[in-house]
Amino acid sequence: MSVVQIFPRADEPAAQALVNPVAGPREAAASSEKRPGKPAAADLPPGSEPYPLDRAFHAMLARFTGGISPVALSLAWLDWSSHLAASPQRQMAMSRNILHDVGRFMEVAAHAASHEPWSVIQPQGRDRRFSQPQWEVPPFNLLAQAFLLGQRWWHDATTGVRGVSRANEAIVEFSVRQMLDMLAPSNFAATNPEVLEKAFQSGGENFVFGWQNWCSDLMRPLAVSRPVADAQFMVGETVATSPGKVVHRNELMELIQYHPTTARVRPEPILIVPAWIMKYYILDLSPQNSLVSYLTAQGFTVFAISWRNPDAKDRDVAFDDYRKLGVMAALDTIGRIMPERKTHALGYCLGGTLLSIAAAAMARDGDRRLGTISLLAAQTDFTEAGELTLFINESQVAFLEDMMWQRGYLDTAQMAGAFALLRSNDLIWSRLSHDYLMGESTAPSDLMAWNADATRLPYRMHSEYLRKLFLNNDLAAGRYRVEDRTVSLSDIHTPMFVVGTLADHVAPWRSVYKVHYQADADVTFLLTSGGHNAGVVAPPDEPGHSYQVMTTAADAPYVGPDEWLKLAPRVEGSWWPEWAGWLAARSGAPCDPPRIGFRDSSDLPEAPGDYVHT
């Protein structure tokens, strides 16, 4: 027997049988035949995954790293440190900068005994950790200023190093920022004057209450019954209460038709396509915060998709299944209830991306059922998708795939953790100080209760989403395929209303704005105050909202986002009436309300349905 026979190549059938003893010769041969195309892991049939022991090891490792690839992180740091080591003049400049900052700090600190407010550096952006007057007196102003100077030095050190790739630079800067934020003086009782003052006034009660808050949060996932604060916002009782009925159900979604609240309604229905990384009732919270209730009050017939929360059995659900069983199935059902009427389609976040793909495929195939398309904080180009792209590179995606491969889905903890890291000051460290050190409890809200009602993502779907959209940007590049044919957003000629939010960390508004040069349609772009969720949930009675809006015709010259920001007029108030007026101008005269469902949907439940509870 030759050495070649004893040690076959790893991509030959014999070696595949050794690596994957569960797979037989047929599976091993199939695996070797797939080598030229190198399909994504999610495209492989069960039992033919390459190197399952490696994938199991990566999945185990992910439990200790929170789903972050240590290889991706190491490569980014190696890229930065290697280029910095080869830049002696840059190192000298960094040394000069820190000596200058230390000298200035010592000079001003010498006068700190006067107990007068002083400042060497101001916090950047929305940083409110040191905004209270207690931080203006020594020694706490010394701690805050030293921290901010160190934070600025590290930002300068990790950015602008010549030769470092932009992606690796962003990872290094982000990870350094996370470590520094963890060490901020506001996070420790002994160095936080607000905490010390509260302890003095309360006789230390704040620490007792903080301990209770910590224990409550720790036991929350194990509790059989919901905490009292959460019980204030129960689905179907205090949130998601708009009256309606499930009129269609399949293995992936329930379609809810809401009852009209006006005597006459517009003939064109509205279809809401939410993201499946969230429960649909973000748009049907408490009655005063419900977009669904607002739309029905404006005389619209509203339908909404409620996605089922997937589990391990749904590991092979593909991204296109959400299009077919979601958007297209909903349109088919609406067509049966309200025949020969165009639909106003609304997509939120990932649901907006899905709606864009579905609309492009419909336009390609001559399907004219959409009257308008509205996108809320939804991206169609992912080259500038904000800090979320820090978690998206080949190494990280492969690591996530291995983690999901073992479970069959992406767990809620990994997704919630990634989003929390993007706003760690607001969502992690400020809560530590407020809830655990100050001993105060945050007043519950419907939006907070919804945010805690997390969902899972199927293995195959999420792998395809990350690779085809985030990693390869196939949709913007004209490579995305639906039913084995490419689709292009330039085929869309339907009027569009696109909403971006000013402080969005998930879908930055400049990224959302790119739809202007992708779709061949009249685009009304609206930029509203607030973030990804709070900016969208903006009821008219709630103060503090404002927006800018401007329409660009399909044949008009392109206006860049910065120019648009200067040209678009600013309006105080909620953007909901602006959108409702835009829809009304593109709708027919009011008529009698349509029927609710049809006979074969009579045995389906009333809104909010069953899937929202999964």
User: So which residues are the catalytic ones?
Assistant: 349
DSSP 268: S
**What is the rounded distance in angstroms from the CA atom of residue 347 to the CA atom of residue 492?**
15
Q: Which residues share a beta bridge with 346?
A: 272, 374
Measured in whole angstroms, how far is the alpha carbon of residue 293 from the centre of its chain? 25
Task: Residue 347: name the closest of 555, 461, 512 by CA.
Answer: 512
Kindly give, in sequence order, each residue whose CB lies less than 8 Å from that of residue 236, ignoring residues fewer than 6 positions away.
607, 608, 612
* Residue carrying structure tokens 């604060």: 229
Geometric angle at alpha carbon 298, from 595 and 543, rounded to 5°: 145
The secondary structure of 91-126 as a DSSP string is HHHHHHHHHHHHHHHHHHHTTGGG-----S----TT
Helix (H) or strand (E) holding 205: helix 205-219
Tokens of 532: 């990804």
Query: Cα–Cα distance between 91 and 173 in angstroms, integer?
Result: 17
Confirm if 174 and 76 have CB atoms less than 8 A apart.
no
Handedness of CA 601, 603, 606, 612 (dihedral sign): negative
Residue 450, H or E segment: helix 446-452
- List % helix, strand, coil for the chain (3-state, nearest 5): 50, 10, 40
User: Which is it for the CA torsion 286, 290, 296, 301, positive or negative?
Assistant: negative
CA atoms of 428 and 178, how far apart (whole Å): 11
H/E run at residue 369: none
Could you give the CA distance from residue 243 to residue 234 in angstroms, rounded to a whole number? 15
Query: 10 Å Cβ neighbour count for 600?
Result: 10
Phi/psi region, residue 544 (left: phi>0; alpha: psi -120 to 50; beta: rest), is: left
Neighbours of 264 (CB within 10 A): 12
8 Å CB contact between 459 and 409 = yes
